[in-house]
Amino acid sequence: MKVYSKSDIGMRRNSNQDYCLTGEFPDGSVWAIVCDGMGGAAGGSTASRVAAETISETLLSGYRENIEKSEIRELMELAIEYANKAVYDMASHVPGLQGMGTTVVCAVAKDKRVHIVHAGDSRAYLCTDEGVRQITVDHSIVQELVQAGELTPEQARVHPNRNLITRALGTEPVLRTDYNTVEFEDDAKVILCTDGMSNYITDESLLEFIRQNRCDELTDKLIENAKKQGGSDNITVAVIAC
């Protein structure tokens, strides 16, 4: 398996509050973490960096070659718990960082299975020859309205409150996350991204990008697409491929 990632400031922001870390375990399995910080330039960038670094350190120290599926979930959830505490404690005690937080989407791919834990509206997609499927469900105001039947997905994409999230790492002492796992067959790809990418692409367009570009080109092409369409936010993409 391979993993690629890239983060870009976009076209309108003065700083990049996204943060992404990826890597490979000794057995060839891979991992990726994508965070989108909030709370001002200093707070947002600090929250996303501290969260990603804490999660990666926990994953790397707790992972072992013969780890079971249930243990992977436990390890990922523990890593995010530690990250939530680290960001929350810093926000509570460091002047100028009050109220900071970050979205998080974290993936571990092992033995043709991808494990995903997330909070907020940074997303994970599974892309196969059959199409694109969003693995995660946004923790956001507009997603709740979609689920209640008050908005269509198309209306949600342009809703003025589409960036208001209902869960974020580091804003409360305890964070509730969602866990998903999907089979990861040959030629499949998992895309992790912040809303700086997902706000500018449809499932159909994403599938076309995947069909037309090599894996090592995808991050550049998807970021370039978001920037061409306005790039109003920071843009971060990670690609996991068999």
Predicted local confidence at residue 61, as pLDDT: 98
Predicted local confidence at residue 162, as pLDDT: 78
Residue 119's nearest CA partner among 142, 145, 101 is 101
Predicted local confidence at residue 160, as pLDDT: 79
Predicted local confidence at residue 156, as pLDDT: 78
- How long is the chain? 242
178 beta partners: 118
Give Dmax (Cα) for the chain.
50
% of the chain surpassing 90 pLDDT: 86
What tens-digit pLDDT sequence spans the chain (242 residues)? 999 999 999 999 999 999 999 999 999 999 999 999 999 878 999 999 999 999 999 999 999 999 999 999 999 999 999 999 999 999 999 999 999 999 999 999 999 999 999 999 999 999 998 899 999 999 999 899 888 988 887 787 778 787 789 999 999 999 999 999 999 888 899 999 999 999 999 999 999 999 999 999 999 999 999 999 999 999 999 999 97
Rounded Cα distance, 87 and 62, in Å: 20
The sheet with strand 235-241 has its strands ordered as 2-8, 235-241, 189-193, 123-128, 131-134
Q: Which residues contact 228 (CB under 8 A, 6 or more apart)?
A: none
The structural domain count of the chain equals 1
Predicted local confidence at residue 90, as pLDDT: 97
Supply 29's token pair.
């399995």
CATH code for the domain of 65: 3.60.40.10
Structural domain including 93 reads 2-241
The sheet with strand 113-119 has its strands ordered as 18-24, 30-38, 101-110, 113-119, 178-183
